[in-house]
Structure 1
Amino acid sequence: MRHSILLPVNATRPEQVIPFANLVRWGGAARLWQGQGLVLESHQIVNWLAGAGIRVSAGFGVSLMPYRSPYNAAVEARSVALATGHEVVAGYGPGSLAAQTCAMGRPYAGQLTACREYLTIVRDLLDGGISDREGEYFSAKAQLLPFHRPEVSLGLGVLRERMAGLAGELADTAITWLASAAYLEEVLIPALRGAKERRPEEPAKVVAYVPVALAGPDRDREKLLRATVGGHIQFPHYQAALRRAGIRITGDGGADDVRALVDGGIFLHGTAEEIHQRLDAYRAIGVDEVVLNVTGVAAVHGPRAAASDLYELLKAAP
């Protein structure tokens, strides 16, 4: 199982990303992951790093579909692969209903249908062919300027079993978030592996984002957890996925939520060795890559502390 890192800051200057990219170059991390860029656009950050001579493997998990057409998504993913010379995992997801409404005026009526159409068109384009499809949400009659096929793996963000089944059918990688090892083993991975259209010799890989923080005398676990996942656990679709895993929360990030998320294996807090002992559960069930998420440490204690936590965790990795 590989250990990667999530960029833990919303960078406002690309130079702020360099210490974290260097953890991929020299610190033992397999890949630098980013979510949807909120200030600087995520793909542009990686291309800037490549232009500065820092070429690292990148993952995007997830880029929100309402913010880019499938054609633009394919161009962005190919651009990063060509600029870096490394494999790119280009992960997409529909986002929350609120994000869909903000970007498009209304949400997708069929989330799975929208994801299916989107990924199929992006796959067509990255494979070098003409995508000639008429869909309910996404249509295309287009082809990228011919060039050699880039090293891009398509990912799909997964919270619940129906999306996991779709990822197993269409994607190269299922990207999970706020999913404990137990929930992956009992719910998501069986749905992923049970996809009927997938060739069994090429199963989709599993990437798990795992919120973590090292313990210390100045570390407030409740504050760190709220800063890491507090925004997400307010959304109904995340709460529904957590309930499916047997974890009931209010969404306010209070002491009861903290206890439930820690006890449920969602947020890992302790020494580097203790955290890796908990991560062994992901290895045991066949997760291919864990993405260490220390955004809470960065928010509460600053980017330098976040980089230090990541370095210690990577150094302690088995």
Structure 2
Amino acid sequence: MRVSVLYPLMPTDPRTVVPFAALIRDGWADRLWQGQSLSADTQQVFAYLAGMGYRVPVGTSVALMPLRHPLDAAIQARSLAVLTGHCAVLGLGPATPDFVAGLHGKPYDSPRDACVEYLTEVRRLIGTEEGGAGAVDGAVSLPGMPHPGVEIGLGVLRPTLARAAGRVADAAISWMTPPGYVRDTLLPAMAKGAAEAGRRVPRTVTVVHAAVDRPGRNAYRLAFVAAHVHLAGPHYADMLRRAGLRVHHSRPNLGARALVDSGVFVYGTPADIAVRLAEYGRAGVDEVVVNVAGVYSEHGRPDAVRDLQEILAACREL
């Protein structure tokens, strides 16, 4: 199982991301991930880092589909592969119905169908289908350009999008999903979708909240700071209930306690965290992405980087 890291905030200065990129450059982690940023744009921050000499593998977890036409998404992802010199992961997600309606006037009629259509079009444009890119029935195509490749990912929380990922994605990217839930719910749905489409099952990437137990820290507080926005989302609460946690989107404070008590928010010594992360590998996860958002927000960037360094070192020792 690969171990990667997430820059956990929307950056306002790309230089703040440099210590995270250095962990990949120096061989401690496999890939640098960022979520959607409405501050400094995610793809532009990655490009800035490459220009500084941090030409490391990167991924989005996830870029929101309604913000970009598939053509622009394909151009951005292909450009990152060229600039970094590595296969880039373009992780995509449909966003919430309210967000989509605010941009496009109404929600997607079917988020699943919208994802399948969008990822299929991005794949065609990038030319990852067998036979390469090209215009089909007058459709727009991109000019040929050598690049290290783009892996197209889909954010998944529940079986419907997991099945869709099986049909069209190279990677399924989950967030805050317990290992047993990935094994018993998401992976079977992905396998079913892949079988329907006659293709390989996508690899699985899971973003995991973590923090090292240190004096002056409170695990419940760190979990709340890190995850309260997601815990207030009905789709996240539904996923966690399916996984056996007692949560409700109207009570993110109690949801944070459930994350800690269940081990979904991983808190302990670096060795404890490494052992817990290894459970994801046994559950079928191909890449775990360590997210120290709580520490970064409460205690600052140096403490967050220190946590990552110690966690990554402990993972090496397993």
**Pair 1:176 & 2:174 matched:** yes
Identify the residue that residue 137 of structure 1 maps to in structure 2.
none
Residue among 134, 140, 143 paired with 1:130? 134
Distance 1:305 1:102 in 2: 37
Structure 1, unaligned runs of 5 or more: 134-139
What is the TM-score when the length of structure 1 is the normalising length? Answer: 0.93
Identify the residue that residue 68 of structure 1 maps to in structure 2.
68
Give the residue type in structure 1 aligned to 2:84.
T
Residue among 190, 193, 214 paired with 2:191? 193
1:260-310 deviation digits (Å, cap 9, x = unpaired): 222333211111111111112111122110000011110000111111111
Alpha-carbon shift at residue 183 of structure 1 (Å):
0.5
Structure 2, unaligned runs of 5 or more: none
Q: Is the 8 A contact 2:247 2:255 kept in 1?
A: yes
1:29-79 deviation digits (Å, cap 9, x = unpaired): 100000001210001111111111110000111000010000000000000
Q: Is the 8 A contact 2:223 2:257 kept in 1?
A: no
Identify the residue that residue 155 of structure 1 maps to in structure 2.
153
Give the residue type in structure 2 aligned to 1:31.
R
Identify the residue that residue 162 of structure 2 maps to in structure 1.
164
Distance 1:132 1:22 in 2: 42
Distance 1:211 1:189 in 2: 21
Q: Is the 8 A contact 2:206 2:287 kept in 1?
A: yes
Give the residue type in structure 1 aligned to 2:134.
I
1:130-181 deviation digits (Å, cap 9, x = unpaired): 3548xxxxxx921112222541100000000111111111100000012000
Q: How does 1:223-238 map to 2 (within 5 A)?
A: 223-238=221-236
Residue among 223, 243, 246 paired with 1:245? 243
Distance 1:281 1:150 in 2: 31
Q: Is the 8 A contact 2:155 2:173 kept in 1?
A: yes
Alpha-carbon shift at residue 242 of structure 1 (Å):
1.3
SS at match of 1:237: helix
Identify the residue that residue 102 of structure 1 maps to in structure 2.
102
**Pair 1:111 & 2:115 matched:** no
Aligned-pair identity (%): 42
Q: Is the 8 A contact 2:228 2:256 kept in 1?
A: no
Q: How does 1:20-35 map to 2 (within 5 A)?
A: 20-35=20-35
Q: How does 1:34-45 map to 2 (within 5 A)?
A: 34-45=34-45
Structure 1 ranges of 4+ moved more than 4 A: none
Relative to its length, the structure with more helix (as a share) is 2
Q: How many residues align?
A: 310
Distance 1:8 1:192 in 2: 27
